[in-house]
Amino acid sequence: MSIKDIYQAVIDFNNAKVVELVKHELANGTDVSTILNDGLIAAMDEVGRLFSEGELFVPEMLRSAQAMKAGLDELKPLLAQSAAKSAGTIVIGTVKGDLHDIGKNLVAMMMEGAGFDVIDLGVDVDTEKFVKTAKEKNANVICMSALLTTTMPGMEEVIKAVKAQGLDIKTMVGGAPVTQEFANKIGADGYAEDAPGAVEKARELAS
């Protein structure tokens, strides 16, 4: 048994096998971040690639995401322990007009696993909802995900609203078409390419 088997079990959307293998690796002393990055996250990256090449379909992709979540649930207590000091409150959602949520869910799960209080607003979230919730919940960071080039401008709207209201809330953006350059252009406080990077950046912004 190896990390490669976890990777394969996520691709095969075999939840029970993922859980069994993750437990096995933990019992053997394998590093949590190795299980996470080389097993669970790497498998979802591959699933995304297979989907875009037409080799996998949406239901299979969603089942793989659930298998990944089952594995992540096993890691959560350990991830939380290592992050107890830097936790904060995160409001996360996919921006208005955009229904893609697999990546956003991964980011949210990993943030939760890392000890943040995560308020997940779901998909198609408008500016008012992001800002109102972040104010009400006294959030440290608003995290926005976009997968469509056409919905990326929604991120700038939120950032403008946060600034216009003079709020002490940081903003972070991400998603496949989003780049550091775009984040700089719209005045976001943070950008991350992937879910582990988002956790690191959130820790930095919330501290």
Task: For residue 42, state whether it binds ligand B1M (rule: CB under 6 A).
Answer: no
Q: Give the integer Cα–Cα distance in Å for 69 and 174.
A: 20
- Among 3, 106, 159, 162, which residue sits at the site for ligand B1M (rule: CB under 6 A)? 106
Task: For residue 93, state whether it binds ligand B1M (rule: CB under 6 A).
Answer: no
Task: For residue 148, state whether it binds ligand B1M (rule: CB under 6 A).
Answer: yes
Task: For residue 48, state whether it binds ligand B1M (rule: CB under 6 A).
Answer: yes
> Is residue 139 packed enough to be buried (19+ CB in 10 Å), middle (13-18) or exposed (0-12)?
buried
Which region among 12-20, 28-36, 79-87, 98-106 touches ligand B1M (by CB under 6 A)?
A: 98-106
Select 8 or 97, whichever has its Cβ closest to ligand B1M. Answer: 97
Q: Are strands 117-120 and 141-145 parallel, antiparallel or unpaired?
A: unpaired
Select 81 or 149, whichever has its Cβ closest to ligand B1M. Answer: 149
DSSP string, 146-195: --STTTTHHHHHHHHHHHHTT---EEEEESTT--HHHHHHHT-SEE-SSH
Q: Give the integer Cα–Cα distance in Å for 95 and 101.
A: 10
Q: Give the integer Cα–Cα distance in Å for 74 and 38.
A: 16
Task: For residue 171, state whether it binds ligand B1M (rule: CB under 6 A).
Answer: no
Q: Which residues bind ligand B1M (CB under 6 A)?
A: 44, 48, 51-52, 58, 61, 97-104, 106-107, 143-145, 147-149, 172-177, 192, 194-195, 198
